């Protein structure tokens, strides 16, 4: 960017003429049939830093990937995202500013990072963890608006809505919902029906064995055995090495309906915890599993 600094002396028409000439030169440099390589439309960020895997996925999904100059160390999707050592858990102001961003997109205000960025005049877009699908759709549109890709975001949301609605219709209707246990880690933390994941499961005809509780409770092995879920979803295979075989080897678990019927399933824990564009894949994966459950013991 070229800045013109006016002095205090009055130079009359000569000064005006010089300034007009310089302005024409500047404008001419950026009008070669398009914008200059390093220019962006007014208000549209050209250098974006994302320090959240979910916001990174949103940015690339709406078409803002070329504007992203750095993402955090947990942002491993898509593959072309410029992954760095930046941390979203313990964000460092100086490290972020080293990428000279004009927009930082994040989920959590860890280390009071938003106030720090505000002090130096860097725009921040905070996208908190969504509470339901409608919030995911709204957040994707918010990312599109903030990055100059509103139309692309609208198209993406319409496509996601359509795909999810079609997928839900493929699931057999049941008078009584299937019961499930969604294992977040190997200490038996799970989800309830009022969580984001619980609402997704409900759309597909499932009910958490933790019904009556809220949030993300930790269940005891005795409670799980007594509840006898029909389906078990493992979201701790990547983090904790849990497999269907290890579940079956737990004391008493081989008698559970889910184990006896071969209905212990590993989920991609990243997709199951990043409630952005790939929630469509999550719904599709769960729907395929649910459609194969007939409630009868396998031979």
The token duo for 153 is 């975001």
Examine the pLDDT at 32 and tell me if it is beyond 50. Answer: no
Is this prediction's pTM over 0.85?
A: no
Per-residue pLDDT, 129: 94
Rounded average pLDDT over 254-258: 95
- Per-residue pLDDT for 292 more than 50? yes
Q: For the CA atoms of 130, 124, 51, 106, what is the dihedral angle to 10 degrees?
A: -10
What is residue 130's predicted lDDT score, i.e. its pLDDT? 95
Mean pLDDT value across residues 127-139: 96
The predicted-structure confidence for 195-216, as pLDDT tens digits, reads as follows 999 999 999 999 999 988 889 9
Main-chain dihedrals φ then ψ at residue 12, nearest 5 degrees: 65, -150
pLDDT exceeds cutoff 50 at 187: yes
- pLDDT confidence of residue 40: 56
pLDDT score, position 42: 65
- Report residue 185's pLDDT band, with 50, 70 and 90 as the boundaries: very high
The 10s digit of each residue's pLDDT in 162-180 is 999 999 999 988 889 999 9
Q: How far apart are CA 118 and CA 124, in angstroms?
A: 8
At residue 221, does pLDDT exceed 60? yes
Bridge partner residues of 232 (DSSP) = 181, 264
For residue range 49-68, what is the model confidence (pLDDT) as tens digits? 999 999 999 999 999 999 99
- What's the angle, vertex CA 61, arms to CA 55 and CA 67, rounded to 5? 75
The partner residues of 70 in beta bridges, in order of sequence, read: 49
Angle between helices 150-169 and 133-147 (to 10 degrees): 160
- The C-alpha atoms of residue 223 and residue 257 are separated, in whole angstroms, by 14
Helices (H) and strands (E) in the chain, counts: 13, 8
Q: Rounded to 5 degrees, what are φ and ψ at 38?
A: -105, 15
Q: What's the chain's average pLDDT? A: 86
Domains of the chain from N-terminus onward? 48-156 (3.40.50.1980), 172-292 (3.40.50.1980)
294, pLDDT greater than 90:
no
Residue 174 is predicted with a pLDDT of: 87
pLDDT band at 41 (very low <50, low <70, confident <90, very high): low
Range 36-44 average pLDDT: 56
DSSP 6: -
Bridge partners (DSSP) listed for residue 178: 206
Average pLDDT over residues 212-241: 94
Pick the more confident residue, 286 or 172.
286
Element containing residue 22 per DSSP (H, E) = helix 12-29
């Amino acid at each position: 960017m070229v800045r013109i600094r006016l002095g205090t002396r009055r130079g009359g028409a000569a000064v005006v003429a010089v300034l007009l000439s310089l302005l024409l030169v500047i404008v001419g440099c950026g009008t070669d049939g398009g914008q200059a390589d390093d220019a962006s439309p007014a208000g549209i960020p050209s250098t974006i830093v994302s320090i959240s895997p979910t916001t990174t996925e949103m940015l690339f999904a709406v078409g803002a990937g070329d504007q992203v100059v750095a993402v955090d160390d947990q942002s491993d999707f898509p593959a072309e995202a410029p992954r760095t050592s930046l941390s979203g858990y313990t964000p460092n102001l100086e490290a972020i500013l080293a990428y000279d961003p004009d927009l930082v997109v994040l989920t959590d205000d860890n280390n009071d990072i938003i106030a720090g960025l505000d002090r130096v005049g860097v725009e921040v877009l905070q996208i908190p963890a969504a509470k339901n699908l409608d919030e995911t759709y709204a957040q994707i549109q918010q990312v599109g608006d903030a990055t100059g890709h509103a139309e692309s975001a609208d198209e993406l949301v319409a496509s996601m809505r359509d795909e999810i609605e079609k997928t839900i219709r493929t699931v057999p209707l049941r008078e009584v919902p299937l019961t499930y246990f969604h294992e977040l880690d190997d200490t038996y933390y799970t989800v309830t029906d009022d969580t984001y994941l619980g609402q997704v499961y409900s759309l597909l005809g499932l009910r958490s064995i933790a019904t009556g509780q809220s949030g993300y409770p930790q269940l005891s092995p005795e409670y799980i055995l007594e509840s006898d879920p029909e389906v078990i979803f493992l979201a701790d295979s990547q983090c904790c090495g849990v497999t269907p075989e290890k579940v079956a080897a737990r004391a008493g678990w081989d008698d559970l309906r889910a184990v006896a019927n071969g209905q212990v399933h590993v989920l991609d824990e990243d997709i199951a915890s990043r409630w952005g564009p790939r929630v469509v894949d999550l719904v599709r994966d769960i729907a395929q599993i649910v459609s194969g459950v007939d409630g009868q013991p396998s031979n």
